[in-house]
Structure 1
């Protein structure tokens, strides 16, 4: 179920924390990282919004109906791209962002070509102008759809990094690391995205650190 973000009034950048919203009770997430102070002032937004592997319908047909289908345990709470953008606006409004009414998704991340992670109907519901950061296999398929204008490895903001975790017992895991702060105080937030563990569930861990007096992000 999608969570209801709850913020107080507009805060200093280092006091904001990432907002993580599950979109379908499974592997689809909206991850909202706080923007550095300068970008908040320039854009009128408080967060940078990342959609991770949107699967926003209840069923996926495996190539043909004869091969079967994949079904979510429960119907998704968020059913299309417009509903995701509505959550983005709610998050920005809760943070008292001046431009909350015009806020929308900033980037889409797809870690694998598997159909429950790279759901075509859900992805193509988003605006073609949204950049898509995808693994090589997924990028090849998404390019073939000819929907998105920027499909393969777009540049991310300098304060945000995405790393793939490679290990023999870890599949399709990514780490998101964001840096923001005011007056030289750095706040680092890290989120580990592990789509499937040994119990077939999606996991997302969060952590943060603060370094007073550090360099500006």
Structure 2
């Protein structure tokens, strides 16, 4: 597997690009099994929590890009890890078209904030429930199509791992796994491995 991490600002905005290990380093097209995840995009403007009088933040250095439109391709998934405006930035997110094919995964509070903007179609936004190992259905699974009819599908998994007793709701982790599509090998006698 190949993973490229691009830092898009000096805060929390990162673009993860996953690709199968045999993928060429540069190509003009998206390869089967490739997948991109953008985390907490904030690309310009100021943010504040509660009111600008209490706390006003802006970037101290220039972001790598000024808008999501500058990305070569829209990411497959955008993850919003919390509702604070330096993670859930309205101007940046709403630079995506209302009909975007990008899937937005957000923590419950962030999803509530994004819904209040009334910008995206309801099927674009998905809530990442807190992960508990004994609770089914709390991991987002994205199937990666197989290369051919004789290969196996891959998968991306994403989980919202919360911290117990965190009243500020500032401390959580996002777990991501990537399994590229692979080959199915036939053994003698028709069995598959």
Shorter-chain TM-score tier? 0.5 to 0.7
Asked if structure 2 preserves the Cα contact closer than 8 Å seen for 1:49 and 1:105, the reply is: yes
Question: What SS is found at the alignment partner of 1:118?
Answer: coil
The residue number in structure 2 matching 1:25 is 10
Question: What SS is found at the alignment partner of 1:67?
Answer: coil
Q: Is residue 2:175 matched to residue 1:178?
A: no
Q: Is residue 2:157 matched to residue 1:161?
A: yes
Of 118, 132, 148, the match for 1:146 = 118
1:38-53 aligned within 5 A: 45-46=30-31, 47-53=34-40
Q: Is residue 2:76 matched to residue 1:106?
A: yes
**How many residues matched?**
149
- 1:101-143 Cα deviation digits (max 9, x unpaired): xx43211110100111111101111232222100000001101
Of 47, 58, 66, the match for 1:60 = 47
Which has the larger share of helix? 1
Q: TM-score, normalised by structure 2?
A: 0.66
- Equivalent-residue separation in structure 1 for 2:160 and 2:89 (angstroms): 20
Q: Which runs of 5+ in 2 are unaligned?
A: 23-28, 129-139, 144-154, 186-191
Shift of residue 63 of structure 1?
5.1
Of 101, 105, 112, the match for 1:133 = 105
Asked if structure 1 preserves the Cα contact closer than 8 Å seen for 2:15 and 2:38, the reply is: yes
Shift of residue 26 of structure 1?
1.7
The residue number in structure 2 matching 1:199 is none
> Closer, same or farther in 2 for the Cα pair 1:152/1:183, shift >3 Å?
closer
Shift of residue 45 of structure 1?
1.9
Decide which structure has the larger Cα Rg and report it: 2
The residue number in structure 1 matching 2:57 is 70
Shift of residue 72 of structure 1?
2.4
- Equivalent-residue separation in structure 2 for 1:157 and 1:59 (angstroms): 33
Q: Which runs of 5+ in 1 are unaligned?
A: 1-15, 38-43, 87-102, 186-213
- 1:172-206 Cα deviation digits (max 9, x unpaired): 21111010143249xxxxxxxxxxxxxxxxxxxxx
Q: TM-score, normalised by structure 1?
A: 0.59
Of 61, 66, 69, the match for 1:82 = 69
The residue number in structure 2 matching 1:3 is none
